[in-house]
């Protein structure tokens, strides 16, 4: 296979954060996005865990891209990803059992998170290890930012706290719906709406600038 | 004589416009709102004002962005606001009411494209959101006809934004009323096994009972609308009929366990829902047979939810579920066009005229353009190695 990307490492890194953000642009990995983002801490932990798995497995996939036969590549990717997920699973369990319980089955489910398999197949298997790692790190950071955007809104409205710090005092009325699955859909929809509005406004500004010039 | 114009039906244009229909509905709602204010005093007035105001502001904002059909002058948002306020408890915190109004218009209507495009009744979407977000506040009712209701707010309605409202039960205790007074007739029946009398239910005139607007008044105002053909009488009839039949069957089966059908019909929001919510033109079927089916479904679901779920009231979810089923109901109840055999029609004929007969542009309709992705990468570029 040939290497596709010629752009710089910084550009590779930034791709996942803004241009191809996994949550807001590609809308990938919705399962953990909606399920674990009831609080900002959960969101960041999930994001960091995913970033670690993503970067490590993309590095390995990229290094093995000329060795693995095409017919068994998906199976190979899954084995690689599952290895790192198992490692993350034990690490989180060792660091904080409370966090491990809060994230539940979604740590193991990183194996089938479509961002990771998608990036391994679409990017890492076609690029040099350094490029693949930068890209994967960017994607992971972008995913974390996306989760954090959802998690902080849901935590502020659903519990009146941010990172566990109370914002409104003891009398805050929690919005129960925000910690329920529909709240996740509503907040995600609101963010997507915001980004679509932003993109449209930018496009219009560019068009107007083009007309004036 | 002018030129002869050949064009498809409709040939006769009525005087009826969206604004006129909506304005008539608003007029018919005003007596109900007035009676509601008479029952609950300034808190109800504030609630109606704030909720309707939130709906109108949201509508104005969404219309101004230019992505939504309709405008603020067509009174549809006013109806949504009034209906939403009537379904909320009178002492519902005003800030929650404002959020419910915003969600009703924004999520229930604006997101779908505005007036006529909404799938669900906007007022009920707002109420469902409020029910899911603030389950305690929405179940806290206060009795009607309290002394001093025109000078004193129910304490919970004046809660600071984002803060927990004051406890209405404590306030009632200070007024020497027992906690049961704050429960709706349905909740009393469901959780305490107490049933209130028929007379009190129909008129809502007896004091110290947590009831909504009077069913009798709603039926009167609704019959005005039905007589002027602003709503189809089949829908309320079939809802009430469906609920009555199911409730009567259960009552006949076990009279000690199930309440009588009369109680089912006149308690809670069934009458308001049947007359004003389910008849929303955009979200109910247009075929006559479909209306019967739709109404029957709502009646059945209402009774089933009331009897067998954890909630005392089921009208809201019944109507929302039936709204979702409306396209399917319309599909299976298409009338047979004149001259077509019933068999062919049943086999999946479509009722509307052959599209070539209808000039859509003539009616002011715009055909949506097929969307083409602009920056779609070409296949060749992706495959070519760059070095």
Interval A148-191: pLDDT, tens: 999 999 999 998 888 888 888 888 888 999 989 899 999 999 99
The torsion angles phi and psi of A172, rounded to 5 degrees, stand at -65, 135
**Tally of domains in chain A:** 1
CA B120 to chain centre: 8
**How many Cβ pairs within 8 Å bridge chains A and B?**
41
Q: At what angle do helices B288-308 and B315-332 cross, to 10 degrees?
A: 150
**Token output for A122:** 């679409």
B137–A contact, CB cutoff 8 A: yes
**Interchain proximity B163–A172, CB inside 8 Å:** yes
Q: Do B132 and A176 touch (CB under 8 A)?
A: yes
3-state helix, strand, coil in chain A (%, to 5): 75, 0, 20
- CB contact (8 A) between residue A175 and residue B133: yes
A182 vs chain B: nearest CA distance in angstroms?
9
- The 3-state DSSP class for residue B246 equals helix
A168 touches chain B (CB under 8 A): yes
The SS3 assignment for A51 reads helix
Contact yes or no for A130/A100 (Cβ under 8 A):
no
| B382 and A CB contact within 8 Å | yes
**3-class SS of residue B159:** coil
CB contact, 8 Å: A171 with chain B? yes
Q: State whether B164 and A2 contact (CB < 8 Å).
A: no
A173, B163: Cβ pair inside 8 Å? yes
Angle between helix A40-63 and A129-159 (nearest 10): 170
Structure ipTM over 0.85, yes or no: no
Q: Do A180 and B386 touch (CB under 8 A)?
A: no
Tell me the residues of chain B between 173 and 212 that have a Cβ less than 8 Å away from chain A: none
Report d(CA B106, CA B100) in Å as an integer: 10
pLDDT lower than 50: segments of chain B: 349-363, 367-368, 370, 376, 380-387
- Which contacts qualify for B21-25: CB closer than 8 Å, 24 or more apart? B21/B230, B21/B281, B22/B74, B22/B75, B22/B76, B22/B78, B22/B79, B23/B75, B24/B225, B24/B228, B24/B230, B25/B75, B25/B79, B25/B225, B25/B230, B25/B231, B25/B276
Domains of chain B with bracketed CATH: 18-148+178-332 (1.10.3430)
pLDDT in tens, B302-361: 999 988 888 878 899 999 999 999 999 988 888 777 776 666 555 554 444 444 444 444
- Cα(A21)–Cα(A150) distance, rounded to whole angstroms? 14
Nearest Cα residue in chain A from B383: A4
Q: Looking at chain A, which runs of residues are DSSP E strands?
A: 161-162, 165-166
Report field, pTM of the whole predicted structure over 0.90: no
Q: Which domain holds residue A49?
A: 2-212
- A8 Cβ under 8 Å from any chain B Cβ: no
Q: How far apart are CA B235 and CA B238, in angstroms?
A: 5
Provide the chain B residues 88-127 that lie in CB contact (below 8 A) with chain A. 93, 96, 107
- When pLDDT is cut at 50, 70 and 90, the band that residue A2 belongs to is very low
Q: Which two tokens stand for residue A182?
A: 């529909």
């Amino acid at each position: 296979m040939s290497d596709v990307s010629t752009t710089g490492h910084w550009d590779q890194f930034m791709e996942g954060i803004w241009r191809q953000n996994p949550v807001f642009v590609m809308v990938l990995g919705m399962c953990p996005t909606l399920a674990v983002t009831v609080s900002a801490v959960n969101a960041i932990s999930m994001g960091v865990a995913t970033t670690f798995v993503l970067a490590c497995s993309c590095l390995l996939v990229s290094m093995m891209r000329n060795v693995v036969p095409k017919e068994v590549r998906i199976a190979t990717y899954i084995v690689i990803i599952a290895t790192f997920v198992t490692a993350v699973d034990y690490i989180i369990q060792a660091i904080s059992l409370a966090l491990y319980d809060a994230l539940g089955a979604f740590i193991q489910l990183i194996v089938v998170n479509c961002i990771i398999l998608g990036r391994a197949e679409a990017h890492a298997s076609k690029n040099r290890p350094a490029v693949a790692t930068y890209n994967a790190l960017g994607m992971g950071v972008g995913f974390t930012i996306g989760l954090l955007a959802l998690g902080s809104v849901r935590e502020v409205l659903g519990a009146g706290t941010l990172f566990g710090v109370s914002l409104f005092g003891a009398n805050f009325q929690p919005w129960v719906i925000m910690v329920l699955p529909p709240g996740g859909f509503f907040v995600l929809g609101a963010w997507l709406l915001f980004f679509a509005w932003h993109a449209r406004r930018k496009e219009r500004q560019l068009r107007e600038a083009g007309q004036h010039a | 004589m002018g030129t002869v114009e050949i064009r498809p039906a409709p040939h006769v244009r009525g005087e009826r416009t969206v604004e006129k229909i909506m304005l008539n509905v608003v007029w018919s709602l005003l007596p109900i709102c007035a009676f509601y204010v008479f029952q609950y005093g300034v808190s109800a007035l504030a609630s109606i004002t704030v909720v309707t105001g939130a709906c109108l502001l949201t509508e104005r904002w969404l219309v101004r962005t230019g992505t939504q059909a309709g405008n603020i002058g067509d009174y549809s948002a006013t109806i949504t606001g009034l209906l939403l306020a009537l379904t909320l408890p009178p002492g519902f915190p005003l800030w929650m009411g404002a959020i419910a109004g915003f969600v009703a218009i924004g999520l229930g209507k604006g997101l779908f494209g505005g007036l006529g495009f909404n799938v669900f009744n906007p007022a009920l979407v707002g109420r469902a959101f409020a029910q899911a977000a603030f389950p305690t506040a929405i179940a806290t009712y206060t009795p009607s006809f309290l002394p001093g209701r025109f000078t004193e707010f129910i304490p919970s309605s004046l809660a600071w934004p984002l803060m927990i409202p004051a406890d209405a039960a404590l306030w009632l205790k200070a007024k020497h009323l027992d906690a049961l007074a704050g429960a709706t007739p349905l909740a009393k029946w469901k959780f305490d096994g107490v049933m209130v009398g028929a007379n009190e239910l129909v008129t809502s005139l007896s004091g110290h009972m947590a009831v909504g607007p009077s069913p009798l008044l709603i039926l009167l105002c609704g019959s005005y609308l039905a007589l002027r053909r602003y709503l189809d009488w089949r829908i309320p009839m079939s809802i009430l009929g469906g609920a009555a039949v199911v409730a009567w069957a259960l009552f006949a089966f076990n009279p000690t366990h199930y309440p009588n059908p009369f109680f089912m019909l006149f308690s809670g929001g069934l009458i308001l829902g049947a007359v004003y919510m389910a008849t929303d033109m955009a979200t109910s079927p247009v075929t006559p047979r479909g209306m019967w089916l739709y109404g029957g479904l709502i009646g059945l679901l209402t009774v089933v939810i009331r009897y067998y779920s954890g909630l005392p009231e089921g009208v809201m979810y019944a109507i929302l579920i039936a709204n979702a089923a409306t396209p399917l109901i319309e599909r299976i109840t298409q009338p047979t066009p004149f001259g077509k055999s019933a068999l062919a029609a049943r086999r999946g004929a479509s009722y509307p005229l052959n599209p070539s007969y209808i000039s859509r542009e003539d009616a002011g309709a715009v055909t949506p353009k097929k969307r083409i992705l602009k920056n779609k990468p070409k296949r060749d570029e992706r495959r070519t190695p760059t070095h």
